[in-house]
Amino acid sequence: MDYFIQQLINGITLGGVYALIALGYTMVYGVIQLINFAHGEFFAAGGYMGVILLNWFIGRGYMSTHPMICIGASVVLTMGYCAFLAMGVEKIAYKPLRSASRLAVLLSALGMSIFLQNAMMLTQGVFDKPYPIELAEGSLTVGGITVSYLQVIIVVFTVVLLVGLNLLVFKTRIGMAMRATAQDKVMSSLVAISSNRIISLTFAVGAGLAAAAGIMVGFYYGSVRYDMGFVPGIKAFAAAVLGGIGNITGAMLGGLIIGMVEVFGAGYISGQYKDVFAFIILIAVLYFKPTGIMGENVDDTRV
Amino acid sequence: MAAEPILELQNVHASYGNIKALKGVSLKVYPGEIVAIIGANGAGKSTTLMTICGIVAVDEGDILYQGRSITKVAAEKLPVMGLCQVPEGRRIFPRLTVHENLELGAFYRRDREGIEKDMQRVYELFPVLKERKRQQGGTLSGGEQQMLAIGRALMSRPKVLLMDEPSLGLAPLIVQKIFDIIHEVNQKEGTTILLVEQNANLALQAAQRGYVLETGRVTMEDEAEKLLHNAEIRKAYLGE
């Protein structure tokens, strides 16, 4: 029983990370019906930017005097950096193809993914880059179950981001414009919404969330690597499909489920097959319920 | 006729992909008028409106609004200038509430009080929308959606309102109600209306002037009254 609860907690931590990444896929899909295969790279870029900023703060000696501010600033700046990066990627690789076939945009996304991954490899090297500090040491032990403070921080921060996103999308004017653009781009221009700006914003928000996930994974595993975006990216994509691509609540739910399945699968079946479980789910969803858990009216012309 | 046209199309050509939909459409709409465009399916009526609104690109010719060319103006800037459309098929945002649909009509506006006032007015014009305020747009009936589409357009305080087939698929009683509202908006607010209709009878009765569109060209223009009694028109569009 203790083992079960322990895995449950690990599953929630991992699931939260997948959920954050999955949101970027689902939001972009919702607005322009593109699977942004470069999305995983924003997660990796976030992980790297985190190291770079933390090292910079350490080098200046600010970290020892104001650790909380430095870490907070690193997280915020990283999210902002990736948001801008994503807006740039959209402008260069997707916007010129707005009226091209879906396949062309998809290929452009794959190309962008390879480009970004190699750019990270060239500038940051091929080896693992260690996170210079620990976010929180120690852990909480309650009746045989151990929860590290780091896990608590990750889960709390994830929840804050998810709640924040929900407020943005469902309670603000700009969120309403986003939903309108996702539903009917022609009509949204007829009510004075600039779809280009909304698309740009969607990329920015999605990448910001992925960047936050990247930093948290960096802290969690203690290092980052140039190709770290690929596997979590694909798993988060599976999560978005599982939840119903285009559906925000679905992506959160899908992320959580994929995280759980992976952790429980590794814990109870085999650790070596850890990466297989997410894809078994993806295949099963595509086979039995292609619209996902919360998906609606997906017409079969979509990729 | 009043001084300057508020909206003028000069020899406008436009195409959907490889299909030439408009082959030189010229028309004028003067402030305060109701002008009807009638014509058969595929004559280019909806394309004309979408071209005015910047959704379909102009290949050749010019569109003037309040005396200045809007051919190169982005679609989303036009509602801000007072040019607004109730499109064919209403295009209600199906998964937004009725209230949100109306709020989006006023998306570019910042005057909270004015928006609130206009919202009340729309709810007075269409009490059924107030009842269904929290319902998703997609759950409304066709007639209710048409009311919502008109309400949404009114929320942007249009100077010129383009309406595409407001009567399509609606019960006669609802159509009557919709046309009463069109008349009221025109009379009370002085909103200029360019009306596209397959129901020529209805459109020409509501309008002061009319244009007949055939395969992307204007083939006739006259006072609505005269078109209504024109033998050719009666034969082609009024089923006589």
pLDDT in tens, A54-106: 999 999 999 999 999 999 999 999 999 999 999 999 999 999 999 899 999 99
For residue A207, give the nearest of A175, A231, A229, A224 by alpha carbon.
A229
pLDDT, chain A, mean = 93
Assigned token pair, B126:
């269409």
User: In Å, how far is A235's CA from the nearest CA of chain B?
Assistant: 28
pLDDT at position A297, please?
A: 55
**pLDDT tens sequence across B99-124:** 999 999 999 999 999 999 999 999 99
Q: Say whether residue A177 is in contact with chain B using an 8 A CB cutoff.
A: yes
Assigned token pair, A296:
């609606």
Q: Is A190 in contact with B87 (Cβ distance < 8 A)?
A: yes
Distance CA A22, CA A8 (A): 20
For domain A2-288, say whether CATH 3.90.1690 is its number.
Answer: no
Q: Is A192 in contact with B77 (Cβ distance < 8 A)?
A: yes
Q: Is B96 in contact with A180 (Cβ distance < 8 A)?
A: yes
User: In Å, how far is B16's CA from the nearest CA of chain A?
Assistant: 13
Q: Which of residues 141-170 of B touch A (CB under 8 A)?
A: 152, 156
| pLDDT, mean of residues B68-75 | 96
Q: Which of A31-35, A134-138, A225-229, B132-136 has the lowest mean pLDDT?
A: A134-138
**pLDDT tens sequence across A280-295:** 998 999 899 888 988 7
Q: ipTM value, please give it.
A: 0.93
User: In Å, how far is B63's CA from the nearest CA of chain A?
Assistant: 17
Higher-scoring residue by pLDDT: B235, A230:
A230
AA letter at A31: V
**pLDDT tens sequence across B161-181:** 999 999 998 999 999 999 999
The residues near B91 (Cβ < 8 Å, ≥ 6 apart) are A184, A186, A187, A190, B149
Q: Is A176 in contact with B54 (Cβ distance < 8 A)?
A: no
Residue of A nearest to B88 (CA): A187
Chain B residues within 8 A of A193 when measuring between CB atoms: 76, 104, 107
Q: Is the confidence at residue A303, as pLDDT, over 70?
A: no
Chain B residues within 8 A of A178 when measuring between CB atoms: none
pLDDT at position A300, please?
A: 40
Q: Which of A111-125, A266-280, B46-60 has the lowest mean pLDDT?
A: A266-280
Q: Is A177 in contact with B104 (Cβ distance < 8 A)?
A: yes
A159: left (phi over 0), alpha (psi -120 to 50) or beta: alpha
pLDDT at position A302, please?
A: 36
- Band of the pLDDT at B214, cuts 50, 70, 90? very high
Q: Is the confidence at residue B83, as pLDDT, over 90?
A: yes
Higher-scoring residue by pLDDT: A290, A119:
A119
Chain B residues within 8 A of A176 when measuring between CB atoms: 96, 100, 103-104
Choose the closest CB to A191 out of B54, B55, B104: B104
User: In Å, how far is B98's CA from the nearest CA of chain A?
Assistant: 12
pLDDT at position A140, please?
A: 87
| pLDDT, mean of residues A15-43 | 96
**pLDDT tens sequence across A191-211:** 999 999 999 999 999 999 999
- Band of the pLDDT at B198, cuts 50, 70, 90? confident
pLDDT at position B24, please?
A: 95
**Cβ atoms B65, B83 nearer than 8 A:** yes
User: In Å, how far is A246's CA from the nearest CA of chain B?
Assistant: 13
Among B56, B100, B107, B115, the strongest candidate for a mutation testing the A interface, having the largest count of A CBs within 10 A, is: B107
pLDDT at position A295, please?
A: 78
Chain A residues within 8 A of B103 when measuring between CB atoms: 173, 176
Q: Which of residues 179-208 of A touch B (CB under 8 A)?
A: 179-180, 183-184, 186-195
**pLDDT tens sequence across A140-183:** 888 888 899 999 999 999 999 999 999 999 999 999 999 999 99
**pLDDT tens sequence across B6-44:** 999 999 999 988 889 999 999 999 999 999 999 988 899
Q: Please, what is the end-to-end C-alpha distance for chain A in angstroms? A: 42
| CA triple A245-A248-A251, angle to 5 deg | 60
Residue of A nearest to B75 (CA): A189
pLDDT, chain B, mean = 94
- How many CB atoms within 10 Å of residue A82? 31
Q: Please, what is the end-to-end C-alpha distance for chain B in angstroms? A: 32
AA letter at B12: V
Classify the C-alpha dihedral A167-A173-A176-A178 as positive or negative.
negative
pLDDT at position B2, please?
A: 53
**pLDDT tens sequence across A230-253:** 999 999 999 999 999 999 999 999
Distance CA B233, CA B227 (A): 7
User: In Å, how far is A179's CA from the nearest CA of chain B?
Assistant: 8
Among A171, A172, A186, A187, the strongest candidate for a mutation testing the B interface, having the largest count of B CBs within 10 A, is: A187
**A–B CB contacts, 8 A cutoff, strictly below:** 63
User: In Å, how far is A268's CA from the nearest CA of chain B?
Assistant: 41
- Band of the pLDDT at B231, cuts 50, 70, 90? confident
Give, in order, the Cα–Cα distances in Å from A215 to each of A76, A79, A109, B57, B159: 10, 9, 23, 45, 51
- Band of the pLDDT at A301, cuts 50, 70, 90? very low
pLDDT at position A23, please?
A: 97
Distance CA A12, CA A154 (A): 10
Residue of A nearest to B138 (CA): A183
Helix (H, G, I), strand (E, B), or coil: what is residue B52? helix
In degrees and rounded to multiples of 5, residue A291 shows phi and psi of -80, -5
